[in-house]
Structure formats: C-alpha cells, structure tokens
Amino acid sequence: MKKLTTYAFVLALLATTPACNSPEVVTPQPRRDLLVFDTPTEAPQPSEAGRAGAGSTTIVSTTIQNHKIAVFGRYETGDNIFLNHPEILSYATSFRDANGTTHTDQWVYGDTSKYNCGTDEEPRRPWLRLLDHEFRAFVPYNPDGNDHQNGLPPENIQAMSDASRLVLNYYTQTNKFDLMVARTLRNPTKDAEGVSEVKLEFQHVLSALQFRIKHKLENTDVLTEAYIDGIAASGVLYYGVRLEGDSETNIHWTPSQPSNRNYLWTGSKTIGRTDGTAAVAFDGDGIVFAIPQTIGEQQVSFVFKTETGDQAIHRAYLPAMTLEAGKKYLFTMELSGASTNISVSIKEWTEVKSNQDIYIQ
C-alpha cells in the first residue's frame, strides 16, 4: 500500500509539470533582446518617411485584441525573421519569459508553452542590431480557415506575399470584416525606438458604406429588402507593390467585374421621417465593406423594397465617384411619393466631420 501511494505522488507531480523540453533544473539563458509587438491605441506621431509606422492613418481600437494578426518579417539580408510564414500574433494578458520576467497586455507569437523553458526552442526571435527589420501585417487573420466572416483565411493570401508586399484576395460576400494593414521598418542602431516594441499602426484598406431610407412626408413604411447592383464585390489588394511615384505603403486594388444583388438583406425596419428614425439597411450598424473602386454615372444602384409599395422595387443610382480606402460613405434616400432623392456624405474613418456632400434631385 505504501509503494502505491508513492507512485501516485510521482504521477501527480508529473501531471503538474509544464510540458517543456528543458532540463529538470532550468538555467536561464543569457538575456537577449527579443522581438515583441504592440498595437497603439493613440494616433501615431509623424515619423520619417519609410521608417517606423510610416503611412498609418488610423487609431486602432482595443477591439483588435479579440482577433489574430498575421505578420511577415525579414532582415535586410532577405532572410525571413519568423519560423512561420506568416507568424500569428495573439493578445496575451500575461506571460513569463525565459528570464522569469512577467509581461502583461502584450502581443505574443509562437508556442507560448516554451516561453518559460529557457532553451534554444524559445520561439521568439532576436533583434539583429546592425540590420534593418521590415514587418508587414494584416488583421483580422483566421489561420484555421473555418470562419471566413471573421478573419482572412490562409488561402486568401497570395504566395508572393512577404514582408516587402502583401497581395490579398477579399470577397465582400463572404469576408464581412474591416480589413486593416500595417508596415513598419526598424533598425535598432538608427531609430529612437531601439529594441522596444514593434508598433503595428494599422490603416483601413476598404471603403465602408451605409444606407438610410426616410420619408419626406408624414408617411411611414417598412423596409423589407435591400441589395446593391453593379458593384465589384471582390478584388485583389496590393500593399507594397509599387507603381511609379509610390511609397512602400501605397494601397492599390484590382476590382473584379461588377455584379448584381450584392449584400442581399431581407428583414423588417420601420421607415421614419427624421435621420434618427430612418431605416438603416443591412444588419448590425448597417455598415457593409466595399472594394475601393471608381463608379461611373448610372452604373451602381441601391435597390430596396418597402411594405407600402407592395414590394415594388425602388432603385437609387449612386453618383459617379471614387470609393476610397479608409473612408465611410453615408447614403440617405428620401422617399417622396413615387420619387426618391439621394444625398451622400463622405467622412474620414477616424473623423466626424464631413469633407464632401453631394445631393441628387
């Protein structure tokens, strides 16, 4: 009976020992400067062109912590920094490194179960002080590829993607999320940041569209269906593929051929007279993400049906314009008898002021 008790104690001890290929008594390795990442939540400070965070235009919300980031990295020698291509960054509230230091609220990568081992299997990568380090990233990333509505799956990353350029496919009918990208160039001996966190300051690469329907008179009605005709519903993003005069952070899109009945929505929303009581098409906050593209006159239309109209189709043509990355477009349809007036307000993604207003009679 005594021998059985001893065996049980040993098994219990083994069960509580972290899985780690290090010796039983861990001797911390000499301290190295290892790469760590950060996503700022304040507006980025102006930086030298081409250096840390250049080209970023957006304040990053803390909601980004609920997603995964795909990041590519390379030294100026052309060698990849990470063992994985791309590496996956996940947000950790707390972890302890090989030197026994506890870190909180940080982006981590690699197999975190090895962080405490203090062996050569430490997954985090070191800074090489005399070299440039280039990083290019996008968010949200869905490495498992099992939910295309909440993150870009691996198959949407074209094979040529690396730290110098990103080439990504985006399909608005299945990839229904705000896609953002970042690019950072760092050199520990040249930049004031030294070996501190690599800041990934993201910028929006899609356009955001919202449609409101209201009545000019006292009439009330119910919105029952909405969709968009004539818009390119997918496209290829080129971030870092430079045309003449471009910087390393220029964004280019190749839209697909326009198609019909995109963003199809059905439901029941009351149409009021004021902006506050207007029916907002589509679910959630009514935002749909669009491929940046140029719209010709009488080319793209917002199509909707109402209950009082006995399911008759209302068609409002969008004005000739260019949908730009990082801008929100609010289209307001005003019903007045058999006619529909449309107004357009265009806003920067992170600003509240309108920089352009278009009215169509």
Nearest to 168 by CA among 243, 69, 252: 252
3-state secondary structure of 219: coil
Tens digits of per-residue pLDDT, 243-283? 777 777 788 999 999 999 999 999 999 988 888 888 999 99
Question: Of 151, 172, 204, at which residue does a domain stop?
Answer: 204
Residue with tokens 């100026």: 76
Name the average pLDDT for the chain.
79
Q: Do residue 162 and residue 213 come from a single domain?
A: no
Which residues make Cβ contacts (< 8 Å) with residue 192, sequence separation at least 6?
none
* Band of residue 355 on the pLDDT scale cut at 50, 70, 90: very low
For residue 185, being part of any structural domain is answered with yes
Cis ω for the linkage preceding 18 (within 30 of 0):
no
How many residues would you count in the chain?
A: 361
Residue 17 forms part of a structural domain: no
CATH number of the domain that 187 lies in? 2.60.40
Would residue 28 count as lying in a domain?
yes
Does 214 lie in the same domain as 194?
no
3-state secondary structure of 65: helix
Structural domains in the chain (count): 2
Residues 66, 61: Cα–Cα separation, whole Å: 10
C-alpha 254/C-alpha 5 separation (Å) is 69
Residue 15 located in a structural domain: no
| Residue 244 within a domain | yes
The pTM (predicted TM-score) of the whole model is 0.82
Same domain membership, residue 211 and residue 341: yes
- Please give the residue range of the domain that contains residue 143: 22-204
- pLDDT per position as a tens digit, 13-70: 344 444 454 434 444 445 578 888 988 755 444 444 444 444 445 555 667 888 999 9
* Residue 86 preceded by cis peptide, ω within 30: yes
Q: How far apart are CA 24 and CA 194, in angstroms?
A: 35
139 and 67 part of one domain: yes
* Amino acid found at 332: T
Asked if 147 contacts 60 with a C-beta cutoff of 8 angstroms, the reply is: no
- Helix-, strand-, coil-residue percentages of the chain, each rounded to 5: 10, 40, 50
Q: Are residues 236 and 350 in the same domain?
A: yes
179 and 222 inside one domain: no
Amino acid in position 312: A
In this structure, the answer to whether residues 249 and 194 fall within a common structural domain is no
Question: Over the stretch 278-336, which tens digit does the pLDDT of each residue have?
Answer: 899 999 889 999 999 999 999 999 999 988 766 678 888 998 999 999 889 989 888 87
186 and 299 together in one domain: no
